[in-house]
Amino acid sequence: MAFYPRSAWGGRNPSAGPLGRVGLIAIHHTAASNAPAAFDANRWKALEAGEVSRGYASLAYHFGVNHGGDQIEIRGWGQKGAATGGHNSDSVAIVYDGYFHPPFNDEPTEAAINAIADLIVVGVFLGWVDPGFVVQPHGVLTAGTQWSSACPGDNLRPRVKGWGSIEAIAQYKLQVVPPGGPVVPAPGPPATPRCVNTCSQRVLKQGSSGVCVKTLQNLLIARGFNPGPVDGKFGSSVKRAVVCAQGANGLVTDGIVGPATWGALGA
């Protein structure tokens, strides 16, 4: 899984105006068949060209994901979207490149669902998404309106409907092993709740692993530092990126992520 900024595929700059913190995440699909699993800049340029031909200034969503779990910046944080009808001013739209209802009936991958979850976690950590957010399929949000739609399709809709908190996403992640593996039963409640929004209270260093390392990797990418693949493993490339981020923020460059480094990345 990798994060690709808008510059990596040549996307147009959004022009719909600023967007502040939101409490709603809208999930879409492209309804495009034969979607590639790997990142393809031309694929996203073609999707954008189709929407521009229909009068949009750019591709209408904030972020995209593909079957392989890559995250693609489209309009990005802080920019108004144009994909969710009456909720364009109070939601962030994430689109999964695929066709999840008849006649194609694609099956969502765990890698892609994880990529969606990680985007939401980063949005909360950076302050663009309210911690009390709700995740809803596009069609649920637009039911009964002029924008009513079957999006994001029969196979994707139940995978994301009802995600209503960071804790819910953390619980999903605790039940799923890395992409390609089987789903295992959730563990019993730990003595101290394990939830993603406590990452800023963790101290991470080379050798650490887990969901908080993935959160760190996504934050480094969002701030322009390259930690390598987002794989939940704190290796030498992550340490180099942390040292660079610490130096850029006037911190001790020890490669250890504590409260000061978390604060600098999340500010």
> What are 119's two structure tokens?
């985007």
Instruction: For residue range 131-159, list pLDDT tens digits in order.
Output: 888 899 999 888 888 888 889 999 998 88
Q: Residue 6: is its pLDDT beyond 70?
A: yes
Burial of 158 (0-12, 13-18, 19+ CB in 10 A): exposed
Residue 202 has pLDDT above 90, yes or no: no
Helix, coil or strand: residue 8: helix
- Report strand pairing: 3-4 vs 22-29: unpaired
Q: Which of 101-115, 133-147, 181-195, 238-252 has the lowest mean pLDDT?
A: 181-195
Sheet containing 3-4, strands listed edge to edge, beginning at the edge strand earlier in sequence: 3-4, 71-73, 63-65, 91-96, 22-29, 129-137
Cα–Cα dist 166/121, whole Å: 7
pLDDT of 65 over the 90 cut = yes
pLDDT of residue 182 exceeding 50, the answer is no
Taking the CA of residue 265 as centre, how many other CA atoms within 13 Å lie in the half-sphere pointing to its CB?
28
Reported pTM? 0.70
Residue 178 in this model has a pLDDT that exceeds 70: no
Instruction: Check whether 14 has a pLDDT greater than 90.
Output: no
Mean pLDDT of 202-216: 89
| Average pLDDT score over residue span 18-38 | 92
Q: With pLDDT > 90 as the criterion, what percentage of the chain qualifies?
A: 49
Closest CA to 83 of 67, 66, 64, 107: 64
Give me the sign of the Cα torsion angle 78, 79, 84, 89: positive
Whether 186 shows a pLDDT value over 70: the answer reads no
HSE of 263, CA atoms in CB hemisphere, 13 A: 6
For the stretch 52-64, pLDDT in tens is: 998 888 999 999 9
What is the predicted pLDDT for the residue at 79?
Answer: 92
So what's the pLDDT on residue 184? 43
**Residue 180 pLDDT exceeds 70:** no
DSSP 68: T
Q: Distance between terminal CA atoms of the chain?
A: 25
CB atoms within 10 A of CB 57: 15
Handedness of CA 72, 172, 200, 210 (dihedral sign): negative
From CA 52, how far away is CA 86, in angstroms rounded?
A: 20
Mean of the per-residue pLDDT values of the chain:
85
Q: What is the DSSP letter of 142?
A: H
Q: Answer yes or no: are the C-beta atoms of 163 and 119 closer than 8 Å.
A: no
pLDDT surpasses 90 at 19: yes
> pLDDT at residue 191 above 50?
no
Q: Hunting for tokens 């959004």 — which residue is that? A: 14
Domains and CATH numbers, the chain: 3-175 (3.40.80.10), 202-266 (1.10.101.10)
71 CB-near residues (< 8 Å, 6+ apart): 1, 2, 3, 4, 63, 64, 65, 115, 118, 119, 218, 230
